[in-house]
């Protein structure tokens, strides 16, 4: 039988790891937004060489499972660097990574590939005659992007950004694989100590569901605000 009382007692223990999980997801989302925008603009303007590299980067990042990327970066790179240090007789390459910095970096790289696609689609949805009009009144291309095109693109992309952030929060359940005590790691530790695996995983499921339900409501409100902005632009 499932012990409901045990689940309730363990919820505060799980909740203690929520800020850590959300911090990793929020940091990665913020970095990914910027990197994704840069990649999308490179593709949009078809910058020689860089646009081709961007396509390859997106394909590799989206095609390789996140857990594999985490293992390669956290466990594989230190061994590679140790070998290079030994071969060169130096010690300038790091052979041990901070788990939290590594997690943020991995999730940032991972989400930037998806956000680049979202940005690219959103930027392409804007009528570029507006950019021509901006250039005709003396704006530079960066000014036209920043003041006219990007604000409209953000309004179009908010729903996808919300989905990506929720996906990131759920994706952080893999960080226990690189020694981070997140929500999932807490559940595994408690379940291993008390042999209450079903109760702990059910409790974790409910916590993740509650977090994502709140995030969904938050992004619905953000989307409504930006939809008003879109109406003002198109009016």
What pLDDT, in 10s, does the model give residues 12-50? 888 988 999 999 999 999 999 999 999 999 998 899 999
What total number of domains does the chain contain? 1
Q: What is the pLDDT of residue 11?
A: 85
Alpha-carbon distance of 197 to 168, in angstroms, equals 24
Q: What is the pLDDT of residue 27?
A: 96
CA nearest 215: which of 207, 226, 203? Answer: 207
Alpha-carbon distance of 222 to 229, in angstroms, equals 11
Alpha-carbon distance of 130 to 224, in angstroms, equals 24
Q: What is the pLDDT of residue 221?
A: 87
Residue 207 belongs to domain with CATH number: 1.10.3720.10
Q: What is the pLDDT of residue 185?
A: 86
**45: helix, coil or strand?**
coil
Q: Which domain holds residue 228?
A: 4-234
Alpha-carbon distance of 32 to 40, in angstroms, equals 12
Alpha helices in 77-140 (DSSP H): 77-88, 99-124, 129-136
Residues of the chain with pLDDT under 70: 1, 228-235
Phi and psi (nearest 5°) for 96?
Answer: -145, 130
In contact, 142 and 92? CB cutoff 8 Å: no
Alpha-carbon distance of 26 to 33, in angstroms, equals 10
Q: What is the pLDDT of residue 229?
A: 53
What pLDDT, in 10s, does the model give residues 190-211? 888 878 888 888 889 999 999 9
Tokens at 101, concatenated: 């910095």
């Amino acid at each position: 039988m499932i012990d409901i009382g045990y689940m309730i007692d363990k919820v505060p223990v799980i909740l203690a790891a929520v800020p850590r999980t959300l911090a990793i997801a929020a940091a990665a989302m913020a970095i990914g937004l910027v990197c994704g925008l840069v990649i999308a603009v490179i593709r949009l303007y078809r910058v020689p060489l860089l646009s081709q590299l961007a396509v390859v980067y997106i394909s590799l990042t989206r095609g390789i499972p996140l857990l594999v990327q985490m293992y390669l970066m956290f466990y594989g790179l230190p061994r590679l660097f140790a070998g290079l240090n030994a071969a060169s007789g130096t010690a300038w390459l790091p052979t041990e990574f901070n788990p939290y910095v590594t997690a943020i970096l991995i999730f940032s790289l991972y989400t930037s590939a998806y956000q680049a696609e979202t940005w690219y689609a959103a930027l392409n949805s804007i009528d570029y005659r507006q950019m021509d009009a901006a250039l005709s009144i003396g704006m530079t291309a960066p000014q036209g992007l920043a003041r006219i095109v990007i604000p409209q693109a953000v309004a179009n992309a908010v729903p996808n950004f919300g989905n990506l952030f929720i996906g990131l929060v759920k994706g952080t359940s893999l960080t226990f694989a690189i020694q981070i005590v997140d929500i999932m790691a807490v559940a595994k530790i408690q379940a291993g100590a008390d042999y209450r695996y079903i109760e702990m995983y059910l409790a974790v499921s409910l916590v993740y569901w509650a977090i994502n339900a709140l995030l969904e409501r938050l992004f619905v409100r953000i989307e409504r605000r930006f939809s008003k902005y879109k109406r003002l632009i198109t009016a």
